[in-house]
Structure 1
Amino acid sequence: MNKTQLTMFELAGLTNDKNLVPFLFLFFFVVYVVTILGNVGMMAIIQVFSSLHTPMYFFLNYLSLVDLLYSSTITPKILADLVSLKKSISFTGCAFQVYFYAALAGVEVVLLSSMSYDRYAAICHPLRYALIMTKPKCTGLVLLSFAVGFLQSAAQTSCLFSLEYCGSNFIEHFYCEIPPVLKLSCSKTHQCDIVTFFFVGTLGICSCLAMLVSYTLIISAILRMKSVHVRLKAFNTCSSHLICSSMYFLTIFFIYLRSDTRVLSKQDKVASIFYSVITPMLNPIIYSLRNQEVKRLVLQSVKKCC
């Protein structure tokens, strides 16, 4: 039974220094605009150009969608709080924010591991690639990513907001995240700690293992290639995915898989900003800058528009 007595949470926000507010607002506004333009642009390019209708770009299209939605669950609230005198969020609003950011984070984790499998099939089995990565299989992997992400989020959110909150309503963070919200509960949180640790650990470790196995086989295949040019080309197709995955997983593990996840430091807040705001902006930039085909099509589109 939901015994919650609070109807509103107060957020700490990013800073109490009024001199920093204009700079932070401009910074996050620019980041959010670039995130929207980058991810929408990436999806548009993939949809328009038939040469990009391949499994790799099929996954990248959904990764851009997830990044766009993921950033939109947090960044607009940050911008609103920076210009508001009172930084607050309703109990229901907090529950929705936790649910959607946890769900989309889970979707992104599974999508990244699916993309590593796609790269393994492309490099290690190039002649059978079309038979391995069929459209039904790609669609199934995307549907699995969304199913896993939203189901695990439902379990975490229902556990978190079924607790009793009868004391302070001050969240020591700039948005509703599971560790600082758990800190406010009057109930015993051991069960929710286990649920959060289980899902974050299971998703993270399984995805990391899948990528580790995939890239071990990929590197082994690349080293057997005789041509240096072919080696570089094969490595370039994987480097963008490796960079994006590493940034995301390192910050997620730093926040959640520690001895006491309910005690947040300034470093935790910086890590939260990085994986919730900065990473969704960087992903399309990294993929476009390190991909010759995407750069060529972008330049081609710009020339046509001009």
Structure 2
Amino acid sequence: MTTTVTDLAIDLKAVIDKKNEDDIVGITGLYEAKYRDKVIITYMTNYNISPSDSIKRAIKAGPSATLVMNAWTCSNELRARYLRNGLGTKNNKALLLDVALFCLEDDWVATVEAYTQVYSKNAKDDLYKDLNKKENWCALVRDWVLHDRTARSTIEADAEALYKALNGKKVQEVGQFLCKTTPDEWKRICRTFREVYHKEVDTFFTTEVFGKVDLEPFLIAHYTLLQPGYAAAYILNTCMSGKKGDSERAVRATSLMFDRALKCKFAYEKKYGNIANDFRKLFDARLAKALCTLWRVE
């Protein structure tokens, strides 16, 4: 039985050397990012090449190859790279939402550190400079990355205030709730909200109720605080539209979330349908198989 990081690096090297994509995806899905990050360092020390570069040489290029290469890139550096790619004159909204809103404080701090190491720039400064527009999603992301959350211990009052803000279409006030509430208290507020008003919070995030507002960032933020698996399920469902789906976003979301949102498959099935069938329906066979393996669905 494998017990050390050195053993894991040896196992990974052996699997990559066989050039069997299914086996590479399989071993990838066994370990959380915090363990993969340790293996990456040992692998590079022992073999003078990164696991991602080894995988690039071993299997045919394509979305599934990108997926496992991402998984064997240091998780903080991967988020930093995505963040950098999402910024610029034409901000990639979906990318920035996936990276920034799925980060809680510890992840964000580590991402900022990696961003500085790789790009010699301050991630927060770059983000604030580029997200200077007045769109609601820009304001939400800017406030979210402050991670200014404290427990207030006013659950009933907060549930009532949230109801009034949602009912009154007070977008900025709802955003402040999302950005200043701890995950534990958000869960409790949502539970009280349901008990008192007999509705789920997310039922208010519709055009009919909330008005003509970009709802996606609010839903991702809400689900991330409530349960990361719900956020992953929602994001993956957005990848399933159109005739071909959004394979790029599916790869990105899976790279960032598959080991941290294990309830995704249950949340998806409850709300959207069979995730494995949707993968196979919209994506090429290699990618669909890799996605099914990493999300542990058949």
TM-score by length of 2: 0.26
TM-score by length of 1: 0.25
- Greater relative contact order, per chain length (Cα 8 Å cut-off, separation 6+): 1
